[in-house]
Amino acid sequence: MGWLLVNGMSVALNGEKSLLEVVRNAGVDLPTLCYHPELSLHGACRLCMVEVEGRGVVAACHTPPESGMVVNTNSAVLRRLRKIALELLLSRHDRECTSCLRSGHCSLQDLSNRFGVSDLRFKQERSEHLPIDRSSILVRDPNKCILCGECVRMCGEIQGIGVYGFAHRGAKMQVTTAFQQDLANTDCVHCGQCAAICPTGALTIKPQVDQAWRALNDPTKTVVFQVAPAVRVSLGEEFGMTPGESTMGQLISALRTLGADKVFDTAFAADLTVLEETEEFLERVSSGERLPQFTSCCPAWVKYAEQFYPEFLPHLSSCRSPQQMMGSLIKKFYAKRLEKGPEDIYMISVMPCTAKKFEASREEFTTDGVPDVDLVLTTQELARMIKEAGIDYVNLPETPPDRPFGFVTGAGVIFGVTGGVSEAVLRLGYERITQSELEDVVFEDVRGYSGMRKWEVDLGGQSLTLGVVHGLANAKAVLDDLKAGKVHFDLIEVMACPGGCIGGAGQPISNVSRKVRQERGAGLYHDDVVTAVHKSQQNPDVLEIYEEWLTAPGSHTAHEALHTTYRERGSLWNGRAGVGSKA
């Protein structure tokens, strides 16, 4: 493949697409603000400039590497140009860092530190303060936008929606929604990936920490927490631990220290989901109706389907997501056990996800005016509470969750990673269809991180086609193929975020890195290995709930408590606007 010289050091080319990759692989961390390896190239920030002998200064992200190139990354000219580029970006940026939620995780702030920007030569250019959009679960502050376009490409290319675009021209250019609408009035599905990838504080998650403190300090409320699978393998990152390191024990201790009365594990509700969803699936397989069945655990995907593919809504599993199953269990069943009314219990979910906030607010999940889940905190928000309380997270002793909704199986835990729901369903489906015990619980073929995986499984002579997709643009491609009759599936798992819930937008900011996501995924699979029970159908506490309350999977009571309905939502203009395949 050839060689080139980076700062006098010879570097072998291994099929890298850009000079930027070559330079970074050679150990030089060229600064960028608009480059992301999973998105298309933009080339706007001009920070990755390098000097190539015979060509002068070029943007490394846009320059294909060629054998024999002599590259300098650190000349006096480059340092001067980079600093000017950075200072010009800063001149348009609202630099109220102390009150910015992104402070400490802001790429612009990092680079200012790296470049030693102490004195800005360019005056603050913005004279007027643009309005901040707080209409949605995200907060969009255009005064902090540096026009890198990462949100535009994330929403258009990875999620296939295209809520954002560049509008106007030159100095008046803005990243904004169509017609400058508030986010709440767009086709946004609340996946929050735009906020996860935003290098500054222009897009952040609207904080709800105060509501959590208020409930914890209210003596009349019994505060019950549930913690989603993906949170345990990422929260530690906020405290300097490695991604994927499972800290469920510390997490539970931290919640108890913060004042939680009970702490349960959402993976328990995931086990319940497996039983309900598999029952539903096997019924559909035997009747041949409404196949393929789509999973319904991901609220961003559910809203996407409601907006853009309402014809597939009957195909969605009617199962509530694990978060809402847990909420239902707590408010309708557990409250009685505590001899309390549902309004006396304050249910807080800790989720890797921003769309879960939207899901909890859906009217389908409110009974007689009392929401099943009162508040959803993201992993980031819980980390902030732990920091505010001054808890030494890393050295906390481990404590187990409360019973009865604390006993979980490995099948429930792997719900947090793409392919996990399918694998958990298979561990039950195999036994139900073949009427024999499943020895090896690992379905290796379902695992992995490619955006679309298709797999045929033979269960006792019955052949089933399974699909696993993550990233809504991938889901869109499958849905279009299904509509055109080009493909056949029996079961399709959809998760909106890259990597599944482990890559959710509520996770610590580093989740935009594929490597970090995969380490978190490995953490969940490891948790599955070290958990005593691997099959949801063997969760004794789940079985007990059925005996005591729900009778059987798919029963009338189970349907009342654990299932839901969907509704067609007109997208913007009641049409099918968001189809950003070409955005």
The answer to whether 276 and 563 are in contact (CB under 8 A) is: yes
Binds another protein by CB under 8 A, chosen from 13, 132, 178, 459 = 178
The residue annotated as part of the active site, out of 238, 359, 381, 519, is: 359
- Please give the backbone phi and psi of residue 552, each rounded to the nearest 5 degrees, phi first: -150, 155
User: Is 280 a residue of the active site?
Assistant: yes
Instruction: Note whether 365 and 320 are within 8 A (CB).
Output: yes
Angle between helices 248-258 and 379-388 (to 10 degrees): 60
Angle at CA of residue 54, ends 50 and 55, nearest 5°: 50
Q: How many residues sit in the footprint of another protein (CB under 8 A)?
A: 26
What does the per-residue mask of binding to another protein show for 127-166, with x meaning CB under 8 A? Answer: -------------------------x---x----xxxxxx
Residue 578 interacts with another protein (CB under 8 A): yes or no: yes
The residue (of 156 and 416) whose beta carbon lies closer to another protein is: 156
Closer CB to another protein, 340 or 576, in the complex: 576
Active site residue 277: yes
Q: Which of 194, 245, 501, 571 is catalytic?
A: 501
The least CB distance from residue 306 to another protein, in Å, is 18
Q: How far apart are CB 311 and another protein at their closest, in Å?
A: 16
Cβ proximity to another protein, 174 vs 531, nearer residue: 174
Question: For 372-461, where are the E strands, in sequence order?
Answer: 375-378, 452-459
Residues linked to residue 549 through DSSP beta bridges, in sequence order = none
Q: Can you tell me which of 168, 171, 210, 463 binds another protein, judged by CB under 8 A?
A: 168
The CA angle 32-36-40, to the nearest 5 degrees, is 120
Q: Would you say 183 or 360 has its CB closer to another protein? A: 183
Known catalytic membership, residue 125 = no
Tell whether residue 171 is a contact of another protein (CB under 8 A): no
Query: Using CB under 8 A, which of 108, 148, 478, 572 touches another protein?
Result: 572
Among 15, 40, 169, 395, which residue sits at the site for another protein (rule: CB under 8 A)?
169
In the complex, minimum distance from the CB of residue 526 to another protein, in angstroms, rounded to a whole number: 40
Which one from 51, 237, 238, 277 is the annotated catalytic residue? 277
Strand-strand pairing, 70-72 and 49-52: antiparallel
- Nearer to another protein (CB atom), residue 188 or residue 505: 188
- Residue 173 C-beta: closest distance to another protein, Å: 9
Distances (CA, A) of 541 to 387, 406, 513: 34, 9, 37
Tokens of 182: 């508030």
3-state secondary structure of 466: strand
Stretch binding another protein (CB under 8 A), from 168-176, 284-292, 425-433, 447-455: 168-176
Which residue number, 99 or 574, has a Cβ lying nearer to another protein?
574
Q: Among 323-331, 351-359, 390-398, 567-575, which window interacts with another protein (CB under 8 A)?
A: 567-575
Q: Closest approach of Cβ 355 to another protein, in Å?
A: 19
Q: By CB under 8 A, is residue 581 in contact with another protein?
A: yes
Distance in Å, CB of 174 to another protein, minimum: 9
Residue 309 within binding range of another protein, rule CB under 8 A: no
The two tokens of residue 321 are: 């997501």
CA dist., res. 225 & res. 8, Å (int): 56
Judged by CB under 8 A, which of 167, 452, 459, 543 binds another protein? 167
| Number of CB atoms found within 10 A of residue 115's CB | 16
List 234, 296, 317, 349, catalytic entry: 317
In the bound state with another protein, the residue whose beta carbon lies nearer, of 439 and 573, is 573
**Token code pair at residue 114:** 């790296």
Angle (CA) 93-99-103 rounded to 5° is: 70
Q: Which residues contact 297 (CB under 8 A, 6 or more apart)?
A: 270, 273, 319, 321, 322, 415, 421, 495
Rounded least distance, CB 452 to another protein, Å: 20
- Of 157, 245, 279, 280, which residue is the catalytic one? 280
Residue from 73, 176, 204, 511 that binds another protein (CB under 8 A)?
Answer: 176
How far is the CA of 84 from the CAs of 79, 80, 120, 146, 190, in angstroms?
9, 6, 10, 14, 36
Among 54, 288, 397, 573, binds another protein (CB under 8 A): 573
The pair of structure tokens assigned to 298 is: 């991901």
- Taking the C-alpha atoms of residue 530 and residue 493, their distance in angstroms, rounded to an integer, is 25
Closer residue to another protein, CB minimum distance, 183 or 425: 183
Q: How far apart are CA 540 and CA 542, in angstroms?
A: 5
Rounded to the nearest 10 degrees, how much is the dihedral formed by the CA atoms of 574, 193, 386, 393? Answer: 140
What is the chain's length?
A: 583
Judged on CB neighbours under 10 Å (0-12, 13-18, 19+), 582 is exposed
192: phi then psi, degrees, rounded to nearest 5 = 75, 5
Of 188, 297, 319, 497, the catalytic one is 297
Q: Is 401 in the site for another protein (CB under 8 A)?
A: no
Known catalytic membership, residue 289: no
Residues with a catalytic annotation lie at: 277, 280, 297, 317, 356, 359, 364, 501
Residues in touch with another protein (CB under 8 A): 152, 156, 161-169, 176-179, 572-573, 575-583
